[in-house]
A and B are shown apart, each in its own frame.
Chain A
Amino acid sequence: MARPANSPSRDPLQPQRLSNGGLVDRSRTIEFTFDGRTYKGHPGDTVASALLANGIVLAGRSFKYHRPRGIISAGSEEPNALLELRTGARREPNTKATVAELFDGLEATSQNRWPSLDFDVMSVNSLLSPIFVAGFYYKTFMWPAKFWEKLYEPAIRRAAGLGRAADVADPDLYEKVTAHTDVLVIGGGPAGLMAALAAARSGKRVVIVDEQAALGGRAIDDAATIDGRPARDWVRAAEEELAARPDVTILRRTAVFGTYDGGTYAAIERVADHLPQPKDHHPRQRLWRIVAKRAVLASGATERPIVFGDNDRPGVMLAGAVRSYINRYGVVPGDNVVVFTNNDYGATTVTDLIRSGANVVALVDSRPKPSETVSRIASATGIKLLNGAVVTRAFGKKRVSGVTVRTQTGAEVKLLCDLVAVSGGWNPNIQLTTHLGGKPAWNDRLQCFLPGALPPSMSLGGSVAGDFSLHKALSGGAAAGASAVALEGAKPITIVVPQAADESDAITPLWRVEDHAGKAFVDFQNDVSDKDIELAEREGFRAVEHLKRYTTLGMATDQGRTANVNALAIMAEITSRTIPQTGITIARPPYVPVALGALAGHHRGKSFKPTRLPPSYKWAKEQGGVCVETGLWLRPSYFPRKGEKDWLDTAKREVNTVRSAVGICDVSTLGKVDVQGTDAGIFLDRIYMNNLKSLPIGKARYGGMLREDGVLFDDGTIARFGDHHYFITTTTANAVRALQHMEYCSQWLWPELDVQIISATEQWAQYAVAGPKSRELLQKIVDPAFDISDAGFPYLQVGEITVCGGIKARLFRLSFSGERAYEIGVPARYGDALMRKLWEAGREFGACAYGTEALGVMRIEKGHISGPELNGNTTPHDVGLGGMVSKTKDFIGRVLGARPGMLDPNRPSLVGFRPVDRSARLRSGAHFIAQGVEATAENDDGYMTSVAYSPSNGHWIGLGFLKHGPSRIGEIVRAYDPVRGGDTLVEVVKPVFVDQEGVRVRG
């Protein structure tokens, strides 16, 4: 069909670009490619507007049937025009062409087609469409079950899905920001701008957010007039006023995607998606957490299509989108246009089309009588008006070439056209009002759902409230903004609402055209047609939540924003219920898709969690120490030397050195808590299972903490420095929880006690110096005034001393290794220097540094419990510490720890193990089975918790929990490990493998 004779001159390189109008910058022309061909556009275009300017409507193939699909909308509701943008690491699939902004050199590719968009092999699915109905997967791939994993799933995965994700790591940065504001205005259209102006003029803090690059909303899309001048001028003035205020933040290209409790909102800002790549060190996207005392939701409305035959043909477009392309982008998407509407707004599209030189073939209005607005338009433009008529089917394949219209008399006529502008009415964008469970309310006059109960502190402005006319939007927005700040204590201010038209919002519902031919789509992105809804109804899936899940309607990345209301209206029709009786599904965040990178922000890769470095970390790295993550800490696990072939080799050498000479280990990561107060002793007695009353000043004692249910929670040492001054250690892993527990006890359980609990974990760099020569080594560090001889500083002695010429220090004679050993603490800033000093001084004794591997081996050799034994299931009796449990005092865990089940001798309890075949390797996690019985759960006698190769014994050793363990010493049992194919005979032994008499610790 020819372009109308009266059409204005156009750019031959962009045949559908109007010579003026819109917000695009015609002074610059930029190039982009689509499926390898180069096209031209302007800054300010979206990919969709640029494609349309070049006469392209076919943008992709549909998800299930691979039907050709075009651009339907001009916003984030777009279900069809999903493209792959960019290449390489920045390749991003399923990007909405209607949202993506054009930049010079942009590469866009269509999706879900092979070998090409024009000719797609899989479109055969369309011929098989009777098979691919709702519930297809549920019905087809159920049986046989074993086929699912090997056959069905891989095949479906190949055929399904749309674009391809990049196959290398995302090279871009993302960040997260928190903003606090008095008023958050969601939406920068006329209502939002008025709300922001009203709030800002009162002096309150305002954040205004809009999805698009330019503010103005439908006032720009509709080329409206405000106060007698073009809306864009009014918008610019409003923007300038807001920008000049220091307490106003304008966030463009930002979508609020979630409403959360306490006035918290999440928004995603596309900082650099409109650029070829982000600026150096700057993020691609920014995730905003906005905490707002009040929010004004001015999120507008989304137009809905009408369901008729082959309504998915490229060139069938929402009427409001047609107006957006003309007025915002200066592009007329077709030359010969049929407008199909059930409402007055849709009809006004005619005016924009005529103004832009398009030929309006007919205005097909389903309402039997012309409304006042329609009559006015018809007489002003002289177009053909078909009242009481409906489009029953579109024809054309890759582009619509005409429509069949059933007139009021029932006659069918064919109209040739290359664009169908459809309006089925508008759905207010109420999603953010439902995220906290608010139920939408049906409005019969406007034929749409309006927000029902609002989240606390939210109010509405503009078309989301059903105020569809520009006049109502401006005044509604102003009122919402003014009342929001009034509730926040601002003085009332008078807002003059600018003059604007109060257009008609008259509508007579038409959801789908009866007796249509062809496939009539409801959800374009998930390829759900009206027949699927009928099928769902026949099969009993009538509730909207069932309909959604059975047909996948509304479950695509567009959240069914053009589909949901049409679907439930059709369901209402079929089931002869009203729409409110049928109900609507509740939206959940996110309102728009959000990149996972944005949710992670700074916290990815090595920054996923913060890392804590112990004081000797730098020294350890210089020494070639290999570090492991233990919680947030990075601790050296072993210090390999030349010629050692693996960690085991190194750990053996480190253990042997400690047991024969001396070794040094950074134990600063242990939790350290300073406990003071006149009731400190009473307090500690209540949180530890063992008796601490008798602990003298200057001594340390091992202690265990239980949970109130009697299970072991943590262990460590308690040192007493004064009458009312204790210093305790916790395990590294439980440091934070132990402090929390102590604060719980002191604040909630026993607030009457005079006790002060202060964390001192990081104040002290603490080193274990262990081995027969440890004292000799320390002698070179400790200032001469202090006697650390065995007599002067015996086992379990603690003291405040000085080292290296006056540095304050704490010395503890404690041993985890079973050797003569000390822990020495200095203020952390001297930690690195002390480590170097110890290293230097240790040379003459053949000292080594040892890491967590050797530490672990030595504690297993001594049968000391650690994380694997403190596993949240074990009692003091289980780990052989039953004798320590006080019977004379109350303490956390006392009563429930004394339940018969907790003391049952049948409970697996701690013993040691060694392989019968001494060359065999043991593995933790193996279960114990008595010899000669079947390896079943009933015969399970316990499990191995810790294993190590013991250099001191020359074979593997293990600790574990065995039923009646202590009475089975000498018995041979199976260590059965079906997961790793292990089945080893082990001998039950006492859980001490070195120095059973325990004489070495005393020197």
Chain B
Amino acid sequence: MADSTLQPTSAFSHLEPTSLPGIAIEPRENFTMASFAAGKGRLEALAAAIREAYGVELPRRPQRVVGNGIVFVWLGPDQWLAIAERTNNRDLEVELKQRVAGLASVVDQSDGRVIVRVSGPLAREVLAKGVPIDLHADTFGVNAVAITHASHIGVIMWQVDAAPTFELAMFRSYADSFAHWLLEAVASTVPAAA
């Protein structure tokens, strides 16, 4: 919307990209996202349409799959969240509505959730201070997805790489509360300042 007089605002009032020994955190908001849910009896046709359009298989369990310029995150039974960089006015709601018309209900979620990336050897230790699920490499792992909560805030989270890097998506209105908890968890994990 380059020609609009409205400029987007960050949902985070005090979370900046931060890198500390063993851990880095970064708010990520510049995405276009859309959720879509398969229509009744349309699951296989939907999977075929996605395969056709993006060359990937929609995950049927809590996983994500990385396609060309798009990521599909399992969002519950027969539901997914599609995520792409918000470049060239790309709008996944519009794009998916065209590609899966009649097969799935598509809803724009580009602004509903914001993402925080947590990365580094201390990431699991930090996240364990709010996330109740097991993030051990043998049980979670790259591309694993979980819908759970972090410090009483609902999150969809997934592992990006083995660094390990995790991304946690939460409803926009919780951004500051989430950041407040995360920064406290980071501060209590990294070695204390002298």
Is A–B contact present in the complex under a CB 8 A cutoff?
Answer: yes
Q: Is A641 close to B, CB under 8 A?
A: no
If A610-B174, A676-B105 touch, does A830 touch B134 (CB 8 Å cutoff)? no
Complex Cα distance A615/B172, Å?
Answer: 9
User: For residue A763, which residues in chain B have a CB less than 8 angstroms away from its CB?
Assistant: 107-112
Q: Chain B interface (Cβ within 8 Å of chain A)?
A: 1, 3-9, 11, 13, 29, 35, 37-41, 79, 104-105, 107-113, 128-134, 136, 139, 151-153, 171-178, 180-181, 184-185, 187-188, 192-193
Q: Give which listed residue, A281, A612, A678, A762, contacts B112 with CB less than 8 A.
A: A762
If A179-B128, A613-B176, A756-B39 touch, does A806 touch B151 (CB 8 Å cutoff)? no
User: For residue B109, which residues in chain A have a CB less than 8 angstroms away from its CB?
Assistant: 760, 763
B1:A805 contact, CB within 8 angstroms: yes
If A177-B128, A612-B177 touch, does A804 touch B4 (CB 8 Å cutoff)? yes
B188:A281 contact, CB within 8 angstroms: yes
With both chains docked as a complex, state the minimum distance between the C-beta of B12 and any C-beta of chain A, in angstroms: 10
Q: List 23 A-B contacts (CB under 8 A).
A: A177-B128, A178-B133, A281-B184, A602-B130, A610-B181, A612-B177, A676-B105, A677-B40, A679-B40, A754-B39, A756-B79, A761-B171, A762-B173, A763-B108, A764-B111, A804-B6, A805-B3, A827-B111, A828-B111, A829-B9, A830-B7, A830-B9, A833-B6
User: For residue B151, which residues in chain A have a CB less than 8 angstroms away from its CB?
Assistant: 602-603, 610
Complex Cα distance A831/B114, Å?
Answer: 14
If A282-B192, A678-B39 touch, does A180 touch B134 (CB 8 Å cutoff)? yes
A833:B37 contact, CB within 8 angstroms: no
If A609-B152, A754-B39, A805-B3 touch, does A177 touch B174 (CB 8 Å cutoff)? no
If A763-B111, A828-B172, A837-B5 touch, does A175 touch B37 (CB 8 Å cutoff)? no
Q: Give which listed residue, B8, B40, B131, B132, contacts A829 with CB less than 8 A.
A: B8
Complex Cα distance A756/B6, Å?
Answer: 32
Q: Give which listed residue, A289, A607, A762, contacts B171 with CB less than 8 A.
A: A762
With both chains docked as a complex, state the minimum distance between the C-beta of B115 and any C-beta of chain A, in angstroms: 13
User: For residue A830, which residues in chain B have a CB less than 8 angstroms away from its CB?
Assistant: 6-9, 111
Q: Give which listed residue, A205, A280, A615, A804, contacts B193 with CB less than 8 A.
A: A280
B107:A834 contact, CB within 8 angstroms: no
B35:A758 contact, CB within 8 angstroms: yes
User: For residue A764, which residues in chain B have a CB less than 8 angstroms away from its CB?
Assistant: 111
With both chains docked as a complex, state the minimum distance between the C-beta of B41 and any C-beta of chain A, in angstroms: 8
B112:A828 contact, CB within 8 angstroms: yes
A834:B6 contact, CB within 8 angstroms: yes
If A281-B188, A291-B134, A613-B173 touch, does A674 touch B129 (CB 8 Å cutoff)? no
User: For residue B133, which residues in chain A have a CB less than 8 angstroms away from its CB?
Assistant: 178, 180
If A609-B152, A754-B39, A758-B105 touch, does A805 touch B193 (CB 8 Å cutoff)? no
With both chains docked as a complex, state the minimum distance between the C-beta of B134 and any C-beta of chain A, in angstroms: 4
User: For residue A603, which residues in chain B have a CB less than 8 angstroms away from its CB?
Assistant: 151-152
CB closest chain-B residue, reference A830: B6
B112:A837 contact, CB within 8 angstroms: no
With both chains docked as a complex, state the minimum distance between the C-beta of B174 and any C-beta of chain A, in angstroms: 6
A760:B152 contact, CB within 8 angstroms: no
Q: Give which listed residue, B1, B176, B187, contacts A807 with CB less than 8 A.
A: B1
Q: Give which listed residue, A279, A756, A832, contacts B192 with CB less than 8 A.
A: A279
If A610-B177, A677-B40 touch, does A833 touch B134 (CB 8 Å cutoff)? no
Task: Scan residues 794-836 of chain A and give those whose CB is less than 8 A from a CB of chain B.
Answer: 803-807, 826-834
If A827-B110, A833-B6 touch, does A610 touch B105 (CB 8 Å cutoff)? no
A178, A607, A832 interface centre (most CB from chain B within 10 Å): A178
Complex Cα distance A805/B4, Å?
Answer: 4
B134:A282 contact, CB within 8 angstroms: no
Task: Scan residues 752-777 of chain A and give those whose CB is less than 8 A from a CB of chain B.
Answer: 752-754, 756, 758-765
If A610-B178, A613-B173, A826-B6 touch, does A177 touch B111 (CB 8 Å cutoff)? no
B180:A607 contact, CB within 8 angstroms: yes
Q: Is A741 close to B, CB under 8 A?
A: no
If A279-B192, A674-B107 touch, does A831 touch B136 (CB 8 Å cutoff)? no
B40:A176 contact, CB within 8 angstroms: no
If A607-B180, A828-B112 touch, does A176 touch B174 (CB 8 Å cutoff)? no
CB closest chain-B residue, reference A278: B192
If A612-B174, A763-B109, A834-B6 touch, does A283 touch B188 (CB 8 Å cutoff)? yes
B8, B13, B173 interface centre (most CB from chain A within 10 Å): B173
Q: Is A966 close to B, CB under 8 A?
A: no
User: For residue A178, which residues in chain B have a CB less than 8 angstroms away from its CB?
Assistant: 128, 131-133
B13:A618 contact, CB within 8 angstroms: yes
Complex Cα distance A829/B152, Å?
Answer: 23
User: For residue A180, which residues in chain B have a CB less than 8 angstroms away from its CB?
Assistant: 133-134, 136, 139
The 6 closest A-B pairs by CB, nearest first: A676-B105, A279-B192, A754-B40, A612-B173, A281-B187, A180-B134
User: For residue B131, which residues in chain A have a CB less than 8 angstroms away from its CB?
Assistant: 178
With both chains docked as a complex, state the minimum distance between the C-beta of A739 and any C-beta of chain B, in angstroms: 12
Complex Cα distance A807/B111, Å?
Answer: 13
A758:B152 contact, CB within 8 angstroms: no
A173:B188 contact, CB within 8 angstroms: yes
User: For residue B41, which residues in chain A have a CB less than 8 angstroms away from its CB?
Assistant: 754
With both chains docked as a complex, state the minimum distance between the C-beta of A465 and any C-beta of chain B, in angstroms: 29
